[in-house]
Amino acid sequence: MLILEIEKCYDEFVLNTGWEADKGEIVGIFGPSGSGKSLTLRAIAGLETPDRGLIKINGRLVFHDQKNINMPAKDRSVAYVPQNYGLFPHMKVVENILFGMNGNSPVTRKKIAMELLQRVGLENKWNKYPRQLSGGEKQRVALSRALANNPEVLLLDEPFSAVDMTVRKILRNEIRGFLAQWQIPIVLVTHDPDDLDALATRVIEYGNTKKPVCLSR
């Protein structure tokens, strides 16, 4: 369960949002660019600090301004897949996945990584570099890497922006089955209504009504 209630103020723009996401849910955040969609994801991941509010993951407070809680990103157990996937270009596919894995012996880790790759049909690409992969393959590697540590929340920022329209349709179908296997809250940011139709179980709409009411200032 992910609960958030946050505010972040800039000179020209105020993000003020609050919602919840249950496990197994795919919450789609929909809105025009500049409405604070990505910012919300970054705040949940711990990459951006809200000015006010709270973020709770499975009962754990990871952010609370009044209690002075701001857990660093590395301790939040939140998986984040940025817009262009953020794959490590100098590491092979399997190394990308192994990089984020903790615990277990190196042999076990490698085994788990290969199993993950098998699940997304990329087991024979394990020793390729990201630049040798197609857009869809990159996305699957990024998802496998994000999920390798059994995170408690998965955040996807515009997962299909890097691929063209035709590939997008195929990928939506692929990713739907894959995401359904993970019983965690999944938050998907998009500006494309088709993404929501295909994937989201619930939609939260962000408007661009820039109301410069900033409660924390």
Please report, as residue ranges, which positions from 178 to 217 form the binding site for other proteins (by CB under 8 A).
Answer: none
Least Cα distance to 19 among 194, 193, 187, 196 occurs for 187
Q: Which of 30, 80, 160, 206 binds other proteins (CB under 8 A)?
A: 80
- Give, as one character, the DSSP assignment of residue 125: G
78 touching other proteins, by CB under 8 A: yes
Mark the segment that binds other proteins (CB under 8 A) among 10-18, 55-63, 96-104, 199-207.
Answer: 96-104
Q: Near other proteins by CB under 8 A, which window of 18-26, 55-63, 86-94, 175-183?
A: 86-94
Site for other proteins in 107-166 (CB under 8 A): 129-131, 145-146, 149
Considering only 74, 105, 165, 181, the residue that binds other proteins (CB under 8 A) is 74
Binding status of residue 11 toward other proteins by CB under 8 A: no
What is the Cα–Cα distance from 15 to 51, expressed in whole angstroms?
A: 10
Angle at 203 between CA 3 and CA 193, to 5 degrees: 145
Residue with tokens 């024979």: 124
Report in angstroms how near the CB of residue 19 gets to other proteins at its nearest. 20
Q: Which residue, 76 or 198, has its beta carbon nearer to other proteins? A: 76
> Is position 83 an interface residue for other proteins (rule: CB under 8 A)?
yes
Residue 16 or 85 with smaller CB distance to other proteins:
85
The pair of three-digit structure tokens given for residue 61, joined into one six-digit string: 């407070």
Nearest to 161 by CA among 37, 6, 17, 23: 37
**Host H or E run for residue 37:** helix 37-45
Cβ-in-10-Å burial (0-12, 13-18, 19+) of 47 comes to middle
Q: Which residue in the block uniquely carries the two structure tokens 């157990």?
A: 77
Give the interface with other proteins as residue ranges (CB under 8 A). 42, 45-47, 72-76, 78-91, 99-100, 102, 129-131, 145-146, 149
